Each structure stands twice: as C-alpha cells, then as structure tokens.
Structure 1
C-alpha cells in the first residue's frame, strides 16, 4: 500500500472538488425538485435498493449517494476528501435527503468497519474510483468483509483500455502500468465535460483551474479487478463492456448519443469506454 500517495491524492482532491462543484449550480434545489444523478446502467447492476443498507465507496460529494437514498436505501458514503464529505453533508441537509457521510482513507475505513462488525446489503463504486487505490487486494477483501451473505457488489468504471490514450486519442500510457502514474493534479473534468456532468445546467464557476497539488494514479486492468474479487471469495455474476462513457468527455471530439452517453468522433471506430461487473458474497 502507498499511504503517502493516498495522502497526496487527498490534498489534490480537496482542491479539485471546489472547482467541480462550482459548475453545478444549486444542487440542493435540483434534488428537492426530484433530480437524480444515476444512470440506468447503475440501477441495473444494483437492483431494487429500497430498505437495504448500502455502502457507497469513494462517494465524492455525495450526489449519487443521495440519489440512491431517495430510492429508499440507507446509505453510507465514504471518501478520502475532506472537502467532498463536507459538501456531501451540507447537500444532504439542504436537500432533505438523509444519508451518512464518513471521511476516511478507504483502507483504514475497512479496518475500522471490520472491528465494528459493520455489514451492508449492497456495496457500490462508480467512475474513476480504483485508479486512486494502491492495492486491489486490500480493496476487494474489504468489500467482501463488509458484505452480508448474499450481498452484492456493483461496480462500473471507465475502461482501462481507454486510459492508454492522451486527450487527443494518441496512445500515450501503458495498459495497467505496474508503477503509479504521476500527474499534475486532479483536473477540472467537470469543466471539460460541461453538461455531461453538470446535469442541472453547466455554470462557469471556477475558470482556468490549476491544481496546486500533484496526484498519483494506479491504473488497473480488468483482469486485475476480477481476480482480486475472486481471491476475496466473491462470485462474479456479470461482466459487461460499453462503447460509451456516461457523462465524461475525456477526449477530443466526443459526441453525445443521447442520455449523456459520450462516444468518440464519427471518424473513429467504436472503443470500449466503460465496463461493469456485479459480484455476490456466497
């Protein structure tokens, strides 16, 4: 584990989160009016969550957590960023949607949850999460340990194949590199994606954001993820790939097919841009 790099990423996320939320307007009003940030693919993986204890890993500023709570789940969201958790708690209070938000490094949170005997019917993680984790074995074992017997882990993530490209679609990075990739810092991907990620209407907010804190990414292959979950004792029930990215405009010339499903320019072939899996604890 690289707790030093996790800490560096915490600082980088604290800075970036302010910029991200500056583009999204009055989010509490959006939720009070019945808004949701969930996509059909996520609900297909999770199933009916009403009345279930649901753990949302790396929940960021809590928008998806509150969308799940509105569906009747008893939601606990965990994130390493102080800024994100502070925002999530305020958004919960101002929207009137109840959820619990806890700030912690995920690996430490798993240790504490084991000691306390905490269990959940569903565990959920989505979009740009595992690239911030230095050890997938620790991650997978943590998930298995906090699931109830018969509980389900639902996971949707950007496809690691797409991560070999730079923003102009040129091959630049190794596939699933063995060493962490140092970057200038978590960027303002909400500004880059516009209405794709600012679902209630994009606002200029912070302009020209430059993160003062570097970040470090761990880009895992699909086989790494699947094997880690199998080794942790979970049973893989479903694996699926998607030729689009929900909301995220990560590369030049991406087009919206409708429903904020972003695809490469028409001059390019279809590429896998997301994948999803569901796993169950026997």
Structure 2
C-alpha cells in the first residue's frame, strides 16, 4: 500500500519555469530543420533505450508527461499508441499541436502543470497502460514523492511507469566539469539565473535528427529557472513508497542526444560519451516500475 506523503510542492517555481521554457522553446526548434517533413517521411526521435522497455505499444493508452514540444509524443503515436502529451509550456504545446496537424500524426496535447493534470485525471478515473517521461524531466519536479503517488493513481492494474533520465551523479557538474550543485538536494531548489539555455545548439544533430539549422543565435533567456536535484535513491524510494514495484533499473555510460559537457566525444546515432582520459561515469539510467512484478 502507498505510504502517507508530506507534500512540498512549489507551484510558484513551476510557473517561473513555464516562462523560461516559453522563451527557450522556439529557439530550440529553430535549430531543427523541417521537422514536419522528417515525420512525414517516417522519422522517429525515440532512441533504442526508450523503445526497448516500451515494447509493443500499439493500441495502448499512453501518457507522456513533460512532453516538451511533442516530437517524442508523435513518435510514440507513430508506433500505434493512443497518446496524450502534457507539458507546462504554452509554446511547447502550441508547437506540438501544430506539428501534429502538419504531419497527420494524431495525438492529444494538453497545457498543464503535471501535478494538477495528474490529480484531476485521477479524480476523473482515467487510467493509462503506460506513463512515460524522459531526459531532463525529474529535475523540474519540486515534489518527487507526490509525483510518483499521482502517477500510480492513473496506472491501470497492469500498467507501467517508464522513464529514461540523465543520471543525477553527473548533474552535480557544470558543463566544464566544475562541481557546482549538491548531489541529491531534493526539494531544495537550485536557481539557474541563465534560465533554460539553448542546449540544442550545444548538442547539434544529436537533438536535431531532422537536420541541423543555424537558427537563433546568441540566445539569452530573460527568465530564470529552478531545478530540483533528486538523487537516484530519491527516485527509487519515491516510486516504491507510492506502492509501485521497481521492475528494471539500468545505467548507461553514454548520453542520448544531449551533449552534457563541453568536451564529450560524439558516438554514432546521436549519442555522447565521456572524453578520452576521463573515467567512465553513468550518464543516464532507465527505470521501469509497475504495480506488480511481471
């Protein structure tokens, strides 16, 4: 049974992050060449590390939380899932809806804070076979135990929560490997005065599989952002305390898409690895949780 939780939600900081993401989202997409044509030609933005735990999603009801501008959401729909994407950014959801219309790939997109959306969905009795999020999702959640509890409430009896996420061990460093953040500081927010940055320009084709355009240059976000540094122990304990069972946990010594550090080595398929001369670290991990063991 789920354990009682102490709520420490910080919606005011979520709202500040919405403004920062609204400023950054059009800049990110300015670097991605002809996304509509990419999808119309059969393109897919999911990596194998997401597709493997997802398995055959055809006909499943799938909820994609913190879906950003919807590229992965549409990729999930292309695999046959009935998908709802939820994101706090107005600009991201507007772009996702436009891309869905341009490509003819059907998905539902809703602009909302994940917490309020999940709470209302649970009260409506909605249930999903899969709840999914990936790559820089947990760092925007001010109350991870509450998030896990709300996710559990919208899973079907045999449903699964699946995420592929950047490893918190490397998120303590700045882009030049300077230790900057405390590991596992949890609900204590970290203020990013520079806001959400133009990480697509920094990462190149890894985050622009449709092709890289120069796009916006010299972007400076006028809105600060606030992150929450959850350790891997926080993640596991949050989901197990919610009543979910960890079915799978895997760490990876490379990063998909995003170039986390300035001197990373590029790998085939849009991946990034530790540079020569540095010891390997886990750069991301995959997690699968459900109400029961398989």
Question: TM class, shorter-chain normalised?
Answer: over 0.9
> Shift in Å at residue 27 of structure 1?
0.7
Matches of 1:280 and 1:47, distance apart in 2? 15
Deviations 1:256-276 (CA, angstroms, capped at 9, x unpaired): 221222012112111110011
Matches of 2:64 and 2:171, distance apart in 1? 24
Instruction: Please name the residue that 1:116 is paired with.
Output: 124
> Shift in Å at residue 250 of structure 1?
1.6
Q: Secondary structure at the match of 1:163?
A: coil
Q: 1:255 aligns with which of 249, 265, 288?
A: 265
Unaligned stretches of 5+ in structure 2? 1-8
Equivalenced residues, count = 282
> Shift in Å at residue 253 of structure 1?
1.2
Instruction: Please name the residue that 2:148 is paired with.
Output: 140
Matches of 1:153 and 1:8, distance apart in 2? 27
Contact map agreement 2:203 2:258 (CA 8 A) in 1: yes
Greater Cα offset, 176-185 or 157-166: 176-185
Deviations 1:50-98 (CA, angstroms, capped at 9, x unpaired): 0000000100000000001001000000000000000000000000100
How do residues 48-197 of structure 1 correspond to structure 2 at under 5 angstroms? 48-178=56-186, 179-183=188-192, 184-197=194-207
Matches of 1:253 and 1:230, distance apart in 2? 36
Matches of 1:90 and 1:257, distance apart in 2? 32
> TM-score under structure 2 normalisation?
0.94
Deviations 1:106-151 (CA, angstroms, capped at 9, x unpaired): 1100111012111100110000001011001111011100000011
> TM-score under structure 1 normalisation?
0.98
Unaligned stretches of 5+ in structure 1? none
Contact map agreement 2:206 2:269 (CA 8 A) in 1: no
- After TM superposition, the runs of 4+ consecutive aligned structure 1 residues lying more than 4 A away are none
Matches of 1:199 and 1:15, distance apart in 2? 22
Deviations 1:137-195 (CA, angstroms, capped at 9, x unpaired): 11101110000001111111000000111111122211112421000200000010011
Matches of 2:257 and 2:70, distance apart in 1? 17
Matches of 2:116 and 2:11, distance apart in 1? 10
Instruction: Please name the residue that 2:277 is paired with.
Output: 267
Say what the alpha-carbon RMSD is for the aligned residues: 0.8
Instruction: Please name the residue that 1:22 is paired with.
Output: 30
